[in-house]
Amino acid sequence: MTRKIAIYGKGGIGKSTISSNISYALGYEGKKVLQIGCDPKHDSTRLLLNGKKIEPVLEYMRRVVPNNYKLSDLIFKGANDIDCVEVGGPEPGVGCAGRGILLTLELLDDMGIRYEDYEMVLYDVLGDVVCGGFAMPLRKENSDAVYIVTSGEFMSIYAANNILRGLSNYGEKDRRCGGIIYNSRGLMEEDKRIQRFSDAVELPVIVKIPRDELFAKAEKLGRCLGEDSPESETAQILTTLGRKILTQTEYYHAKPMEDEELERVVLGL
Protein backbone atom coordinates (compact mmCIF):
# COMPACT_ATOMS: atom_id res chain seq x y z
CA MET A 1 0.00 0.00 0.00
CA THR A 2 1.28 3.45 -0.93
CA ARG A 3 1.32 6.16 1.73
CA LYS A 4 1.27 9.67 0.23
CA ILE A 5 2.22 12.48 2.59
CA ALA A 6 2.82 16.22 2.27
CA ILE A 7 5.26 17.99 4.57
CA TYR A 8 4.71 21.74 4.76
CA GLY A 9 6.58 24.48 6.56
CA LYS A 10 7.84 28.03 6.37
CA GLY A 11 10.89 28.57 4.19
CA GLY A 12 14.11 27.98 6.12
CA ILE A 13 12.44 26.03 8.91
CA GLY A 14 14.21 22.79 8.01
CA LYS A 15 11.40 20.94 6.25
CA SER A 16 13.62 19.78 3.37
CA THR A 17 16.30 18.51 5.74
CA ILE A 18 13.66 16.66 7.74
CA SER A 19 11.95 15.34 4.59
CA SER A 20 15.21 14.02 3.18
CA ASN A 21 16.15 12.37 6.47
CA ILE A 22 12.74 10.69 6.67
CA SER A 23 13.15 9.41 3.11
CA TYR A 24 16.71 8.28 3.81
CA ALA A 25 15.68 6.38 6.94
CA LEU A 26 12.84 4.57 5.18
CA GLY A 27 15.01 3.83 2.15
CA TYR A 28 17.70 2.39 4.42
CA GLU A 29 15.10 -0.01 5.79
CA GLY A 30 14.31 -1.18 2.27
CA LYS A 31 11.20 0.90 1.61
CA LYS A 32 10.65 2.24 -1.88
CA VAL A 33 10.38 6.04 -1.61
CA LEU A 34 9.65 8.90 -4.02
CA GLN A 35 10.41 12.44 -2.82
CA ILE A 36 9.01 15.38 -4.81
CA GLY A 37 10.46 18.77 -3.95
CA CYS A 38 7.87 21.54 -4.39
CA ASP A 39 9.98 24.63 -3.82
CA PRO A 40 11.35 27.10 -6.39
CA LYS A 41 14.85 26.66 -4.90
CA HIS A 42 14.73 23.03 -6.12
CA ASP A 43 17.02 21.82 -3.33
CA SER A 44 14.68 19.46 -1.48
CA THR A 45 16.53 16.32 -2.57
CA ARG A 46 20.08 17.70 -2.44
CA LEU A 47 21.06 15.69 0.65
CA LEU A 48 19.90 12.50 -1.04
CA LEU A 49 22.17 13.21 -4.03
CA ASN A 50 25.53 13.96 -2.39
CA GLY A 51 24.85 17.68 -2.40
CA LYS A 52 23.99 17.90 -6.09
CA LYS A 53 20.99 19.71 -7.52
CA ILE A 54 19.05 17.93 -10.24
CA GLU A 55 17.35 19.51 -13.24
CA PRO A 56 13.87 20.61 -12.14
CA VAL A 57 10.81 19.64 -14.15
CA LEU A 58 9.96 23.21 -15.16
CA GLU A 59 13.45 23.76 -16.55
CA TYR A 60 13.21 20.46 -18.41
CA MET A 61 9.87 21.53 -19.91
CA ARG A 62 11.45 24.78 -21.14
CA ARG A 63 14.41 22.94 -22.64
CA VAL A 64 12.78 19.91 -24.27
CA VAL A 65 9.98 19.79 -26.82
CA PRO A 66 6.89 17.88 -25.58
CA ASN A 67 7.22 15.05 -28.10
CA ASN A 68 10.60 14.19 -26.56
CA TYR A 69 9.49 14.14 -22.91
CA LYS A 70 10.56 10.99 -21.04
CA LEU A 71 9.66 10.08 -17.47
CA SER A 72 13.16 8.72 -16.91
CA ASP A 73 14.54 12.23 -17.53
CA LEU A 74 12.56 13.61 -14.59
CA ILE A 75 13.32 11.01 -11.89
CA PHE A 76 16.82 10.80 -10.41
CA LYS A 77 18.18 8.03 -8.19
CA GLY A 78 19.37 9.11 -4.77
CA ALA A 79 20.77 7.45 -1.67
CA ASN A 80 19.18 4.13 -0.69
CA ASP A 81 17.57 3.90 -4.13
CA ILE A 82 15.23 6.82 -3.37
CA ASP A 83 13.61 8.38 -6.44
CA CYS A 84 13.92 12.17 -6.54
CA VAL A 85 11.95 14.80 -8.46
CA GLU A 86 12.24 18.59 -8.23
CA VAL A 87 9.52 20.92 -9.49
CA GLY A 88 11.63 24.09 -9.66
CA GLY A 89 10.24 27.53 -10.39
CA PRO A 90 9.75 30.09 -13.15
CA GLU A 91 12.22 32.72 -14.24
CA PRO A 92 12.23 35.59 -11.72
CA GLY A 93 9.43 38.02 -12.49
CA VAL A 94 7.78 35.65 -14.94
CA GLY A 95 5.11 33.06 -14.22
CA CYS A 96 3.88 31.46 -11.01
CA ALA A 97 5.79 28.96 -8.88
CA GLY A 98 2.55 27.51 -7.57
CA ARG A 99 1.32 26.79 -11.08
CA GLY A 100 4.59 24.95 -11.65
CA ILE A 101 3.54 22.37 -9.06
CA LEU A 102 0.25 21.87 -10.87
CA LEU A 103 2.03 21.46 -14.22
CA THR A 104 4.53 19.00 -12.76
CA LEU A 105 1.90 16.78 -11.17
CA GLU A 106 -0.10 16.80 -14.40
CA LEU A 107 2.99 15.92 -16.43
CA LEU A 108 3.96 13.05 -14.13
CA ASP A 109 0.43 11.66 -14.45
CA ASP A 110 0.41 12.11 -18.23
CA MET A 111 3.72 10.26 -18.49
CA GLY A 112 2.38 7.32 -16.51
CA ILE A 113 4.20 7.53 -13.21
CA ARG A 114 3.27 4.53 -11.06
CA TYR A 115 2.78 5.86 -7.55
CA GLU A 116 1.56 2.41 -6.53
CA ASP A 117 5.13 1.11 -6.96
CA TYR A 118 6.20 3.14 -3.91
CA GLU A 119 5.57 2.55 -0.24
CA MET A 120 6.00 6.26 0.46
CA VAL A 121 5.45 9.30 -1.76
CA LEU A 122 6.63 12.42 0.05
CA TYR A 123 5.85 15.96 -1.13
CA ASP A 124 8.16 18.56 0.44
CA VAL A 125 6.25 21.83 0.05
CA LEU A 126 7.01 25.48 0.77
CA GLY A 127 4.27 26.67 3.12
CA ASP A 128 4.74 30.44 3.27
CA VAL A 129 1.97 31.07 0.73
CA VAL A 130 -0.72 28.42 0.47
CA CYS A 131 -2.10 29.54 -2.91
CA GLY A 132 -3.75 27.29 -5.48
CA GLY A 133 -0.60 25.65 -6.82
CA PHE A 134 1.20 25.23 -3.52
CA ALA A 135 -2.02 23.79 -2.09
CA MET A 136 -2.18 20.98 -4.67
CA PRO A 137 -0.36 18.47 -2.42
CA LEU A 138 -2.93 19.26 0.31
CA ARG A 139 -5.72 17.73 -1.73
CA LYS A 140 -6.76 14.24 -0.81
CA GLU A 141 -6.25 12.94 -4.34
CA ASN A 142 -2.56 13.81 -3.96
CA SER A 143 -1.85 13.05 -0.30
CA ASP A 144 -3.25 10.89 2.46
CA ALA A 145 -1.89 13.02 5.29
CA VAL A 146 -0.34 16.44 5.89
CA TYR A 147 2.41 17.20 8.41
CA ILE A 148 3.53 20.66 9.47
CA VAL A 149 7.11 21.54 10.41
CA THR A 150 7.45 24.50 12.74
CA SER A 151 9.69 25.98 15.39
CA GLY A 152 8.49 28.11 18.29
CA GLU A 153 9.19 31.33 16.38
CA PHE A 154 5.99 33.26 15.84
CA MET A 155 6.26 33.61 12.05
CA SER A 156 6.88 29.89 11.74
CA ILE A 157 3.77 29.16 13.82
CA TYR A 158 1.89 31.79 11.79
CA ALA A 159 2.78 29.88 8.60
CA ALA A 160 1.73 26.61 10.26
CA ASN A 161 -1.66 28.10 11.09
CA ASN A 162 -2.05 29.30 7.49
CA ILE A 163 -1.34 25.78 6.26
CA LEU A 164 -4.15 24.50 8.47
CA ARG A 165 -6.35 27.27 7.07
CA GLY A 166 -5.51 26.20 3.54
CA LEU A 167 -6.40 22.61 4.32
CA SER A 168 -9.68 23.76 5.85
CA ASN A 169 -10.53 26.23 3.07
CA TYR A 170 -10.09 23.64 0.35
CA GLY A 171 -13.06 21.79 1.73
CA GLU A 172 -10.97 19.00 3.14
CA LYS A 173 -13.26 18.00 6.00
CA ASP A 174 -11.74 14.57 6.51
CA ARG A 175 -9.23 13.89 9.26
CA ARG A 176 -6.00 14.28 7.30
CA CYS A 177 -3.63 16.22 9.57
CA GLY A 178 -0.88 13.94 10.81
CA GLY A 179 0.55 16.28 13.41
CA ILE A 180 3.17 18.90 14.19
CA ILE A 181 6.85 18.19 13.60
CA TYR A 182 8.52 20.49 16.12
CA ASN A 183 11.97 21.51 14.87
CA SER A 184 13.42 23.24 17.91
CA ARG A 185 15.57 26.36 17.65
CA GLY A 186 16.44 26.23 21.34
CA LEU A 187 14.67 29.52 22.12
CA MET A 188 13.41 30.67 25.49
CA GLU A 189 9.90 29.36 26.25
CA GLU A 190 9.79 27.74 22.81
CA ASP A 191 8.31 24.52 24.16
CA LYS A 192 5.51 26.46 25.85
CA ARG A 193 4.65 28.34 22.64
CA ILE A 194 4.46 25.14 20.65
CA GLN A 195 2.33 23.46 23.30
CA ARG A 196 -0.10 26.39 23.42
CA PHE A 197 -0.45 26.30 19.64
CA SER A 198 -0.85 22.52 19.63
CA ASP A 199 -3.56 22.67 22.29
CA ALA A 200 -5.42 25.51 20.56
CA VAL A 201 -5.60 23.83 17.14
CA GLU A 202 -6.08 20.36 18.65
CA LEU A 203 -3.16 18.93 16.69
CA PRO A 204 -0.52 16.93 18.57
CA VAL A 205 3.23 17.36 18.43
CA ILE A 206 4.35 13.98 17.12
CA VAL A 207 8.07 14.64 17.53
CA LYS A 208 10.51 17.22 18.85
CA ILE A 209 13.72 17.41 16.85
CA PRO A 210 16.46 19.02 18.94
CA ARG A 211 18.82 21.69 17.70
CA ASP A 212 21.90 19.69 16.70
CA GLU A 213 25.18 20.86 15.16
CA LEU A 214 25.47 17.47 13.47
CA PHE A 215 22.94 18.68 10.89
CA ALA A 216 25.35 21.39 9.72
CA LYS A 217 28.24 18.92 9.60
CA ALA A 218 26.26 16.47 7.46
CA GLU A 219 24.90 19.17 5.16
CA LYS A 220 28.41 20.46 4.41
CA LEU A 221 29.13 16.98 3.07
CA GLY A 222 25.85 16.87 1.14
CA ARG A 223 24.55 14.03 3.27
CA CYS A 224 21.60 13.18 5.45
CA LEU A 225 22.20 12.89 9.17
CA GLY A 226 21.28 9.22 9.00
CA GLU A 227 24.18 8.67 6.61
CA ASP A 228 26.78 10.84 8.31
CA SER A 229 25.98 10.17 11.98
CA PRO A 230 23.63 7.16 12.00
CA GLU A 231 24.18 6.35 15.67
CA SER A 232 23.40 9.86 16.90
CA GLU A 233 20.33 10.45 19.04
CA THR A 234 18.85 12.88 16.50
CA ALA A 235 19.29 10.42 13.62
CA GLN A 236 17.43 7.82 15.67
CA ILE A 237 14.63 10.32 16.35
CA LEU A 238 14.25 10.90 12.60
CA THR A 239 14.23 7.16 11.89
CA THR A 240 11.48 6.66 14.45
CA LEU A 241 9.56 9.57 12.90
CA GLY A 242 9.75 7.96 9.45
CA ARG A 243 8.38 4.69 10.79
CA LYS A 244 5.58 6.51 12.60
CA ILE A 245 4.52 8.44 9.51
CA LEU A 246 4.51 5.29 7.39
CA THR A 247 2.28 3.38 9.81
CA GLN A 248 0.16 6.13 11.39
CA THR A 249 -3.58 5.49 11.31
CA GLU A 250 -5.01 8.28 13.51
CA TYR A 251 -5.39 11.71 11.91
CA TYR A 252 -6.93 15.03 12.91
CA HIS A 253 -9.16 17.79 11.56
CA ALA A 254 -7.65 21.12 10.48
CA LYS A 255 -8.76 23.68 13.08
CA PRO A 256 -6.89 26.93 12.37
CA MET A 257 -7.16 30.02 14.56
CA GLU A 258 -7.99 33.55 13.50
CA ASP A 259 -4.94 35.84 13.45
CA GLU A 260 -5.95 37.75 16.57
CA GLU A 261 -6.50 34.56 18.52
CA LEU A 262 -3.18 33.18 17.28
CA GLU A 263 -1.31 36.19 18.62
CA ARG A 264 -3.13 36.01 21.92
CA VAL A 265 -2.54 32.30 22.41
CA VAL A 266 1.02 31.98 21.14
CA LEU A 267 2.44 35.31 22.29
CA GLY A 268 0.35 35.45 25.44
CA LEU A 269 -1.05 38.89 24.59
pLDDT by residue (tens digit) across 185-236?
Answer: 999 899 999 999 999 999 999 999 999 999 999 999 999 999 999 999 999 9
- In this predicted model, what pLDDT tens digit does every residue of 36-59 receive, in sequence order? 999 888 899 999 999 999 999 999
Domain residues for the domain of 190 are 3-267
Rounded average pLDDT over 6-30: 96
Q: Given this model, what pLDDT does residue 95 score?
A: 59
**Is-above-0.85 flag for pTM?**
yes
Instruction: Tell whether the model's pLDDT for residue 145 goes beyond 80.
Output: yes
Q: What is the pLDDT of residue 9?
A: 94
Catalytic residues: 10, 15, 41, 128
Percent of the chain at pLDDT > 90 equals 79
pLDDT band at 127 (very low <50, low <70, confident <90, very high): confident
The DSSP-derived string for the chain is --EEEEEEE-TTSSHHHHHHHHHHHHHHTT--EEEEEESTT--TTGGGTTTPPPPPHHHHHHHS-GGG--GGGT-EE-GGG-EEEE---PPTTSS-HHHHHHHHHHHHHHTT--GGG-SEEEEEEE-S---TTTTGGGSTTT-SEEEEEE-SSHHHHHHHHHHHHHHHHTT--S--EEEEEEE----TTHHHHHHHHHHHHT--EEEEEPP-HHHHHHHHTT--HHHHSTTSHHHHHHHHHHHHHHH----B---PPPHHHHHHHHH--
Q: What confidence score (pLDDT) does residue 90 get?
A: 66
What CATH number corresponds to the domain at position 254?
3.40.50.300
Q: Select the more confidently predicted residue: 134 or 240.
A: 240
* pLDDT in the model for residue 130: 67
Convert the pLDDT of each residue in 72-122 to its tens digit: 999 999 999 999 999 987 666 665 667 788 899 999 999 999 999 999 999
What integer pLDDT is reported at residue 268 of this predicted model?
Answer: 78
Domain count across the chain: 1
